Amino acid sequence: MDKIDFTGRVAIVTGAGGGLGRLHALALAERGAKVVVNDLGGAVDGSGGSVTAAQKVVDEIRAAGGEAIANRASVTDWDAVQAMVQQAVDTWGRVDILVNNAGILRDKSFAKMDMADFRLVVDVHLMGAAHCAKAVWPHMVAQKYGRIVMTTSSTGLYGNFGQTNYGAAKLAQVGMMQTLAIEGAKNGIHVNALAPTAATRMTEGLLPPEVLAALKPEAVVPAMLVLASEQAPTRTILCAGAGTYEAAHITLTQGVHLGLTPDTPERLLAALAQVTDGTGQTVPQSGAEQGSNELGKALAARG
């Protein structure tokens, strides 16, 4: 069995002042990584800010014999994120791992949601992840090695009432992962997504106490360690909660060729059950595979 070891590696974990991010940072450090502990130090809704949260985690890592530095950049601030990555490079000479964990909640039903709250959640989760990935990318390309972990969510993958903003941002991270994994392959950059189910500050008001007790955030950390490791897969959505680990896939059904005639809309409506049938579905390795499937069926129909 391969041992997961981060000796000599440098990791950046965003939103690491508490909850899952803190546990991610501690676990990486325990296995040898030097860690930039990033946290704005704000409330769950993104308001406020303090360096105290990040520094406390740094102190924990150092007390256990590890190496860490604190950073309180907002991931929404491109200049601050660039400075954070440069801080890591100036301190330790490289950046090997990025765990995009920072996030906020502004939950409301879509009918009642203020669009400013929608935009802010997207800015933190999606643009924050994009800023951090963009800032580490040239360093990872130059060293021909990198591991980027996006934090997606079951809300993004499958939906959840009152979280249109959060769900949209979280599934968008999966879309970013899909293309970054393709673009990074030639330079040894693996990009994956983690969908955690855990009791944290962001979920404590949403779930009953007995459920929260079962969903210890510690049980999510092994999945992050796998996705950040040298042995990591790429383009994988790993789900984790309560000691159970699954993978989520965006699949493509075999579909049906109907051609294009005036009554195609009606024939498509009648054939929807066959079109959506999961028998023989595939996991495309690029967007081009959808077009290949469609064209293949069209050419076969002509023959």
Active site residues: 166
Residue 248's Cβ-count burial label (10 Å; 0-12, 13-18, 19+) is: middle
* Alpha helical stretches, state H, the chain: 19-30, 52-63, 78-92, 115-122, 128-143, 154-158, 164-184, 209-214, 221-228, 264-270, 272-275, 288-302
Residue found under tokens 């106490």: 209
Cβ atoms of 233 and 190 closer than 8 Å: yes
Residue 286's region, left for phi above 0, alpha for psi from -120 to 50, else beta, is: beta
Residue 124 in tokens: 């933190």
In 3D space, the residue among 130, 104, 29 whose CA is nearest the CA of residue 70 turns out to be 29
